[in-house]
């Protein structure tokens, strides 16, 4: 059995892009380790959700623990950095913010975990962190550098197939889900073009687990929000596969067939 380490920026990121993959790997008997860079303390919260005196980082840490339980994650570790907020905000440069961290310093922390775990695979993000969030971009930079330092031989970038999602949006709108102008703009740049995807994992058998893990993050993913308001058919169409770009070993180019596993 293999050990796969996933690096994510905030609590809830582990489930939205890779939750099905994690659940499948865990169900198949592999050891999954989650490293979370921040506690997501700058996330937006619906009014009245937090109890009196409850701090958002504490809530998000508890939500993450439940998500890990649902997904079957064997170990979860925080790197200990602060949430940087959205791109362009002053918090991007705050002392202790992940986006402002020294890449090598953060990579050394992650490399230590990779060595301790004898990781077979590391999963980080694509070059622009999926949608440009500064902490997600930092996950890409820190993850790839840590793999170099630790000598991890299989490295993937979690992403989304932009081409597929763009083609799917008319069906999503036709199903009655609201797609805002902001979301439409995001789908123009999110993830990578389909031609760059090297690995497509079928997670349709684990969507109930993924949905349950999403619900664990109630402060960020509400039942009436875009993700959980989908019908079963639409949810399956959007989330039934998860996508990656293999960095190491280099898969080469031209005429390739998408791999069905991180362990192929």
CATH number at residue 180: 3.40.50.10320
Is the residue at 262 inside a domain? no
231 compared with 125, residue with greater pLDDT: 125
**CA distance linking residue 60 with residue 52, whole number of Å:** 15
Is the residue at 257 inside a domain? no
Question: Do 125 and 159 form a contact (C-beta atoms < 8 A)?
Answer: yes
The pairing of beta strand 31-38 with beta strand 75-81: parallel
Q: Quick one: tokens of 51?
A: 């109890």
Q: Over the stretch 198-252, which tens digit does the pLDDT of each residue have?
A: 999 999 999 999 999 999 999 998 765 667 778 889 889 989 999 999 999 987 6
Does the pLDDT at position 153 exceed 80?
yes
Q: Give the pLDDT band of residue 53 (cuts 50, 70, 90).
A: confident
The overall average pLDDT reported for the chain is 91
Range of the domain at 77: 3-248
> Residue 74, CB half-sphere, CA atoms under 13 Å: how many?
15
Is the residue at 255 inside a domain? no
Does the pLDDT at position 30 exceed 90?
yes
Is the residue at 207 inside a domain? yes
State the average pLDDT over residues 5-9: 98
Is the residue at 214 inside a domain? yes
Is the residue at 263 inside a domain? no
Q: Quick one: tokens of 90?
A: 């002053």
Is the residue at 120 inside a domain? yes
Count structural domains, the chain: 1
Does the pLDDT at position 255 exceed 70?
no
Q: Over the stretch 169-206, which tens digit does the pLDDT of each residue have?
A: 887 776 666 667 777 777 788 999 999 999 999 999 99
Is the residue at 258 inside a domain? no
Could you tell me the pTM of the whole model?
0.94
């Amino acid at each position: 059995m293999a050990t796969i380490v996933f690096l994510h920026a905030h609590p809830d990121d582990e489930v939205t892009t890779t939750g099905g993959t994690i659940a499948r790997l865990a169900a198949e008997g592999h050891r999954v380790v989650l490293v979370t860079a921040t506690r997501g303390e700058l996330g937006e919260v619906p009014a009245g959700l937090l109890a009196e005196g409850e701090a958002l980082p504490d809530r998000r840490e508890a939500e993450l623990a439940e998500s890990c339980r649902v997904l079957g994650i064997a170990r979860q570790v925080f790197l200990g950095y602060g949430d940087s907020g959205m791109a362009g905000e002053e918090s991007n440069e705050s002392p202790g913010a992940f986006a402002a961290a020294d890449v090598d310093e953060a990579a050394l922390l992650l490399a230590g975990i990779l060595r301790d775990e004898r990781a077979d695979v590391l999963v980080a993000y694509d070059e622009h962190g999926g949608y440009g969030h500064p902490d997600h971009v930092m996950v890409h930079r820190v993850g790839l550098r840590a793999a170099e330092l630790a000598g991890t031989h299989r490295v993937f970038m979690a992403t989304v197939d932009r081409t597929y999602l763009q083609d799917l949006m008319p069906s999503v709108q036709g199903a009655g889900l609201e797609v805002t102008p902001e979301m439409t703009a995001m789908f123009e740049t999110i993830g990578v073009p389909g031609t760059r995807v090297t690995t497509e994992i079928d997670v349709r058998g684990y969507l109930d687990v993924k949905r349950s893990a999403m619900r664990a993050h109630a402060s960020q993913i509400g039942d009436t929000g875009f993700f959980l308001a989908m019908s079963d058919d639409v949810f399956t169409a959007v989330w039934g596969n998860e996508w990656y770009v293999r960095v190491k070993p280099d898969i080469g180019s031209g005429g390739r067939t998408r791999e069905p596993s991180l362990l192929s």
